């Protein structure tokens, strides 16, 4: 299996390369590219790989622009730290979509999916899928929630953070009120703008303005103290900590 890695962060690229070689010892990593321009030039001068793993945000722009300049006729596994653009669009047509930090079992499942594709599917042009992907509707702007004998609208801009408790998602608003909602945390991960919300762990989505302090925690984890409540402890894992720092530092 000939694999091309398109990733602009060396730590992520090294981790992905290691995982691929563990899962597919006979695979050949053709190259690691970190820019749109470099990828376009590579495709113009090399034969098509069997598989591409591609980050969405590269050093010089979105990787989607690569498809506007060269024709890609092989499956692509997209990876990203916080750009949850219409994940379901990548569950068809030989494309998969993995969130960073990449879990070994998820990568293994994506590789199994690749292996199950027919030759014609592997050689299909994914341009149409990319166009469908980038024209998906914008992220959620508001929630319609139960209120007394009717409903009320809650703007996303009024949300301080979101948490899950007893298998129910809750909006914690800036006015200190708490509103239960029907959406699961997984559904919210697809619907919320990743520039505004970071999924700290399985229980919390936080916003930069909701954070009071960030402190180091044991085993290279991070501990987040929220501004408007001391009732909730938010711990970010060692693996997620670098992506959280990147999300904050922009």
What is the pLDDT tens value at each position of the chain, 250 positions in all?
999 999 998 889 999 999 999 999 999 999 999 999 999 999 999 999 999 999 888 888 888 888 888 888 888 898 877 544 444 434 433 467 788 788 899 999 999 988 887 666 666 656 555 655 555 556 888 999 988 888 999 999 999 999 999 999 999 999 999 999 999 999 998 888 888 899 999 999 999 999 999 999 999 999 999 998 888 889 999 989 988 998 888 7
CB 67 within 8 A of CB 90: no
Give 227-249 pLDDT, tens digit per residue: 988 888 899 999 899 889 988 88
Domains (range + CATH), the chain: 2-134 (3.40.50.2300), 142-248 (2.40.50.40)
């Amino acid at each position: 299996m000939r694999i091309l890695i398109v990733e602009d962060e060396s730590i992520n690229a090294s981790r992905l390369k290691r995982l691929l070689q563990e899962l597919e010892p006979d695979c050949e990593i053709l190259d690691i590219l970190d820019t749109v321009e470099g990828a376009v030039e590579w495709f113009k001068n090399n034969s098509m790989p069997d598989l591409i793993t591609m980050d969405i945000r590269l050093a010089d722009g979105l990787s989607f622009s690569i498809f506007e300049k060269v024709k890609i006729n092989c499956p692509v596994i997209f990876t990203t730290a916080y750009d949850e653009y219409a994940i379901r669009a990548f569950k068809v047509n030989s494309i998969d979509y993995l969130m960073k930090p990449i879990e070994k079992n998820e990568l293994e499942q994506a590789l199994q999916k690749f292996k199950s594709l027919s030759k014609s599917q592997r050689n299909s042009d994914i341009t149409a899928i990319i166009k469908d992907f980038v024209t998906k509707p914008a992220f959620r702007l508001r929630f319609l929630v139960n209120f007394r004998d009717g409903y009320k609208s809650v703007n996303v801009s009024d949300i301080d953070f979101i948490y899950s408790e007893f298998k129910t998602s809750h909006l914690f608003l800036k006015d200190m009120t708490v509103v239960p909602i029907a959406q699961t945390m997984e559904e919210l991960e697809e619907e919320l703008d990743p520039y505004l919300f970071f999924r700290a762990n399985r229980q919390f989505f936080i916003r930069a303005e909701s954070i009071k302090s960030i402190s180091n925690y044991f085993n290279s984890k991070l501990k987040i103290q929220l501004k408007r409540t001391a009732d909730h402890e938010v711990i970010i894992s060692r693996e997620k900590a670098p992506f959280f720092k990147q999300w904050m530092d922009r």
